[in-house]
């Protein structure tokens, strides 16, 4: 089966600019996650969707980060404006359902903010 797809793979922007990331989950997976992975750390959940509804966004910096999954399939994560500390790998993952199902990760987008 096709895996989780993400684009772009790499992005370099200056601080205060905007950036958007795209994720296409595995077909049939209802749950989609966006994680931020800073170098040397484990993934940190930013937002979790169940179909097109938000399940958890408690760790999303809502003053600058936004995410949507309008049709319950693809999702976009946006940062506006970016800060230096946003430099990280942004991982998208999907799972079949909410309850303890294995999460499959995409290849990630490496963001560098200069």
Applying CB under 8 A, which residues contact another protein?
33, 40-45, 48, 55-56, 91, 98-100, 102-108
Contact 83, 113 (CB under 8 A): yes
Contact 14, 35 (CB under 8 A): no
Whichever of 16 and 44 has its CB closer to another protein, that residue is 44
Least separation in angstroms between residue 95's CB and another protein is: 10
Closest CA to 73 of 109, 33, 106, 24: 24
Contact 22, 4 (CB under 8 A): no
Least separation in angstroms between residue 43's CB and another protein is: 5
Whichever of 73 and 104 has its CB closer to another protein, that residue is 104
Least separation in angstroms between residue 75's CB and another protein is: 16
């Amino acid at each position: 089966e096709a895996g989780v797809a993400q684009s772009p793979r790499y992005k370099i922007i200056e601080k205060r600019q905007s950036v958007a990331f795209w994720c296409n989950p595995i077909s049939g997976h209802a749950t989609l996650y966006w994680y931020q992975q800073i170098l040397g750390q484990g993934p940190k959940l930013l937002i979790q969707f169940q179909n097109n509804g938000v399940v958890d966004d408690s760790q999303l910096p809502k003053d600058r980060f936004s995410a949507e999954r309008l049709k319950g399939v693809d999702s976009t994560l946006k940062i506006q404006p970016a800060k230096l500390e946003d430099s990280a790998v942004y991982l998208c993952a999907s799972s079949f359902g909410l309850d303890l199902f294995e999460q499959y990760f995409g290849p990630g987008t490496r963001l560098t903010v200069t």
